[in-house]
Each structure stands twice: as C-alpha cells, then as structure tokens.
Structure 1
Amino acid sequence: MIKNFLEGLCQVLRVLVGALIAVLIIPVAMQVLARYTGIIPVYLWTEELANFIFVWVVMLGSMIAVWEGTHFDVLVFPEATSRWGMLLQKGFVLIMVSAFALLFAWYGIGYAKFGSIQSSVMLQANLLFTYITVPLAGFVWSAFSLYHLWEVIQTFRESGHASQ
C-alpha cells in the first residue's frame, strides 16, 4: 500500500517534470527569438520565469532520482555479496540520504520563510514559489529513502529466513 502510494507520487512527479519542461520551452524560445532575430522585443520576465521553472525541474527530478535509486549513490567499494555486506552497504547510503534529506527539510522551512518575504524583480512573484522546493524535496527524499531502507531491511530478513 505504501509502495503503491509512493510509486504513484513518483509518477505524478514524472508528469509534472514533463509538463514543466514543455512549458520551459516557451520562455526560452522567446528569449532566443528576441536576442537573435529581433522578431519580438526582449522581455526580461522570460528569463526569471525560465529560472523558476528550471529550479522546479531540477528539484522534482532529484526526487524522482531518489525513488529510482539513481541519485546520491556513489559506489566506492565493490558490490557486497554477503547478506550483512549488502545490508551495511545499502543501509549506510540510505541512512545518509535520509539524514541529508531531513536536514534539507528542517532548514528548508526557514529558507522558504525567508523566500516568502521577497519578490522577484520582473514578475513581482513571491519567491516562496521557488524557495518551497527545498523543504518539499527534503520531505520527499526522506520518504523515498526511508521506504527504500525499509525494503533493504525486509530483503535482509527474508534472505536470512531462506538460508535457515
């Protein structure tokens, strides 16, 4: 049930990233047309909008990468072959990702509060819109990594029962 919910959340994130990349094409195309062809005037708000969208794409993409296990994981030692080795190797990485994620979430709340009292120069948009990605990413990273840690522990337990 939890896995289905988290997989569904990740699927929503994938759709959002795809939609945001499609939307990102508009302000970037406007910038290119304005700068290199002169067909349209230079709109400064397009650069701000592109930056805001890009921040969201990066943070949502990092959430997806944590779910898929393709982010924050560097193989320093050879892949473990024993039950205990796999538990320690994968468990350590997931605990570190979870700790980092919880720090991001905790300190990201203050960061988002700081952003809520600021406005962008051209769009006059509240910067909370962008700053909120930090604690949001922290909470989602922690949920995903803690679930994967639980899966690693379950795999360890099941492999122990199978060998007995």
Structure 2
Amino acid sequence: MGTFLTVVRFVLNGYFKLLKVVVSVLMGLMIVPVTLQILSRYTGIIPRYIWTEEAARFCFIWIILLGATIAVKEGTHFEVDVLPTPEDPKKVAILRLVVCAFMLLFTMVFVLNGWAYAIFGYNQTSELTGISMVFIHGAYLLAGISWLLFLCEHTLTAVSVLLGNTEAVKHLKGDPNVAR
C-alpha cells in the first residue's frame, strides 16, 4: 500500500497546489469588480456597472468552495478538537477514520445535490453577465468530488498506519512531528 499511497499523495498534492493558485487568482479577480462597484458608488468618475455585483458573487462562491476544499486537504475543516490528541499513532488513525466517516456523509450530500444543481444550471444563463450557470452551480459538485478525493487520501493514510506503516504516521493530522 506504501507505493500506491505515495502515488496518490503525489497526484493529490499537485491538485492541491493547483487549487491554491486558482483561489489566489480568483481573489485577485474579485478585487476588480468590487473596486469598480466602490468607485461607481462614491464617485462620478465611472458609470454604475450592474454586472460587477454578479461577477463578485460568482468569484466569492468559487473562493468559498475551493477554500473549503483546501481546508479538507489540510485536515483543518469540519473538525473540532473535543478530546486531547492521543499519543499512540494507531489511536490517532482511528480518530481520523471516525472524522473521515462523518465528513463523508456531508461530502455525499454535496456530490449528489451538486450533480442535480449543476444539471439545473445547465440550461440557464446569468442575466447580467451571460455566463452559463453550470459554471457557477458546478462549483458545488467539484467541491464535493474534491473533498471525496482528499478524504480517500486521509482514509488510506489512516488505514496504512493501522496496518503498521511507520512512514505514513507523519502524514496523520495531530502528529506533533509533522510540520504544518
């Protein structure tokens, strides 16, 4: 399982880096319509643009969902530390599997409903920007699928630790030897 897990981790780390770049670009792009909104509202220099509000809202939706995806990969989303982190790596792995199981329930809601939502938006277009709404509604489906991929990585890592792979221990969340 070690080699397979290494390949999975390599591919998902590349995807993770791509997501961080996309979120950064979207943050930069969102500055443009928001700045235009502010300038048009408080100065007479430029006319009021209606499309800017919609463009900012669409960027914001993608930023939120991709940001949540990044947090799932980092193991910092949808988790609350109620109990102290166990010292034994196998207990940490069991705790990680429990967290992944609960997160999987929410992930499946996003995947199944995201699919229906994307189909719903397929034949619709935005009135102001003319963008097909599938590009907006599809963000929920993409987030759900991405969460599923990252949860599979976390699950494989935890199972690998339970099977005695000492190399996988450093990838468990909560291990004090892992640099975050």
Q: What's the TM-score once normalised by structure 1's chain length? A: 0.91
Name the structure 1 match of 2:82. Answer: 76
**How far did residue 84 of structure 1 move?**
5.0
Q: After TM superposition, give the deviation of residue 150 of structure 1 in Å.
A: 0.9
Match of 1:67 in 2: 73
**Equivalent residue in structure 1 for 2:44, among 38, 46, 52:** 38
Distance 1:159 1:105 in 2: 31
Quote the residue 1:130 is aligned against. 136
Conserved 8 A contact 2:117-2:137: yes
Deviation at 1:156, TM superposition (A): 2.3
State the Cα deviation string for residues 105-157 of structure 1 (Å, max 9, x = none).
12210111111222222112221110001111101101101111110111222
- 1:96 Cα shift? 1.4
Q: Structure 1 residue runs of 4+, over 4 Å off? A: none
Between the two proteins, the alignment pairs up a number of residues equal to 160
Spell out the pairing of 1:144-163 with structure 2 (5 A cutoff): 144-158=150-164
Percent identical pairs in the alignment equals 36
> 5+ unaligned residues in a row in structure 2: which ranges?
1-6, 167-180
Partner of 1:117: 123
Q: CA RMSD in A?
A: 1.6
Q: Name whichever structure is richer in helix by fraction.
A: 1
Structure 1 range deviating more: 133-142 or 89-98: 89-98
Aligned to 1:18: 24
Deviates more, 1:8-17 or 1:104-113: 104-113
CA-to-aligned-CA distance 1:78-115 (integer Å, 9 cap, x gap): 22234553233211101111232122112210111111
Unmatched 5+ residue regions in structure 1?
Answer: none
